Structure 1
Amino acid sequence: MRPTKLAALVTVAALAGCSSGSPTAVPPTASTPAASPVAGCEFHRFEDAAAVLNAPMNPTPRTDDVEPGAKDTRFLSCVYWTADDTRYANIGHREALTPAGAADNQAQFTNQRPADAVDIPGLGTAAYWDTPNGQILVLVGEDLLLVSTGVKNAPSTSRGKDETAKLATLVVQHLGS
């Protein structure tokens, strides 16, 4: 897979559910029942998305198998949307299933890195903000995460680094649990 396609795949997966019907909206409060874990979203939790987006949320995430048929990796996208379907918290988790998959994740992490990337120390094994794609790439052991938050139909350059970093930090904490 070419490195630029990796980011595009996750973005397409995140936005693929834009036109699907919205589940019942639930405001992000302490009394909100936990909607996680959901298959494919075990470490990307409703509560984290609600805290980061700070808005009423759809409690059911939209998931997608980004690379169906892959044998060395399993790449799942998990997206929580606000109740009005305008903002999202997206996690792409590319899990290494074999040593070749682990090597490919490392290569994707390295090759995807743009010249203006900003390192994010202390997040996973290594992490950086990918400015052109408006996302954070995180290596966590042999796995690769692509994390983004944003507004439906807005350009990737409008995505917020601080909001995305907050989500990435929460998700990395859950990945091993």
Structure 2
Amino acid sequence: MRLIRFATLVVVAALVGCSDNPSSTAPAPSASAPASPVAGCGFHRFEDAAAVLNAPMNPTPKTDDVEPGAKDTRFLSCVWWTADDKNYANVGYREALTPAGAEDNKVQFANQQTADAVTINGLGDAAYWDTPNGQILVFVGENLLLVTTGVRDGKGTERSQADTTKLATLVVSHLGG
């Protein structure tokens, strides 16, 4: 049950963002890249999303605290949308705050992996393409990344593994992993 909830939270955060919560999005200074990092987007940068999506971008990301009230982890989502709101680049970052959170991240990473997952060598400490959900899970230190790119209302099975891998590689490089 927890794994289904975990994957569902990430998808909901990616597609819904925080559209009605003004405190969850930061105003951008212009139509170009934001001048400073937005909470949850410090290592998932405007430039990375623009490079992967190869389209004019909305300068304001949608962010979300995916597991509010969690004590052992902090799970933030950062979603950059194209200017036409059709395509997105999403990174969920589940940071371990305690040893119990680190263990839970390890369990989530292992338990989410299905038989048809594709290992991605050289990305973080361990990574794989989650085929049914169309996302990449990356384990970096004690933290977990969930990375997706896609089209609004598109199915996980229609997501691009190549685009998502490119995004995950850029994001992990900003984490130093």
TM over 0.5: yes
Instruction: State the alpha-carbon separation in 2 of the partners of residues 19 and 94 from structure 1.
Output: 21
**Residue matched to 1:133:** 133
**Residue matched to 2:150:** 150
Query: 2:3 touches 2:108 (CA, 8 Å); kept in 1?
Result: yes
Instruction: State the alpha-carbon separation in 1 of the partners of residues 105 and 146 from structure 2.
Output: 11
Query: How many residues are aligned here?
Result: 171
Counterpart code for 2:103: A
Counterpart code for 1:154: G
Gaps of 5+ in 1: 27-31
Counterpart code for 2:168: A
**Residue matched to 1:166:** 166
Alignment of 1:9-20 (within 5 A): 9-17=9-17
**Residue matched to 1:82:** 82
**Residue matched to 1:63:** 63
Alignment of 1:2-41 (within 5 A): 2-17=2-17, 26=31, 32-41=32-41
Distance 1:153 1:169, change over 3 A: same
Distance 1:4 1:33, change over 3 A: closer
Q: Matched residues, percent identical? A: 73
Instruction: State the alpha-carbon separation in 1 of the partners of residues 93 and 18 from structure 2.
Output: 20
1:34-70 deviation line (CA, Å, top 9, x unaligned): 5441121100000000000000000111000000000
Instruction: State the alpha-carbon separation in 1 of the partners of residues 85 and 18 from structure 2.
Output: 7
Instruction: State the alpha-carbon separation in 2 of the partners of residues 77 and 55 from structure 1.
Output: 21
Distance 1:94 1:163, change over 3 A: same
Deviation at 1:17, TM superposition (A): 3.4
1:17-38 deviation line (CA, Å, top 9, x unaligned): 38669x8894xxxxx4454411
Gaps of 5+ in 2: none
Counterpart code for 1:114: T
**Residue matched to 2:48:** 48
Instruction: State the alpha-carbon separation in 2 of the partners of residues 141 and 126 from structure 1.
Output: 9
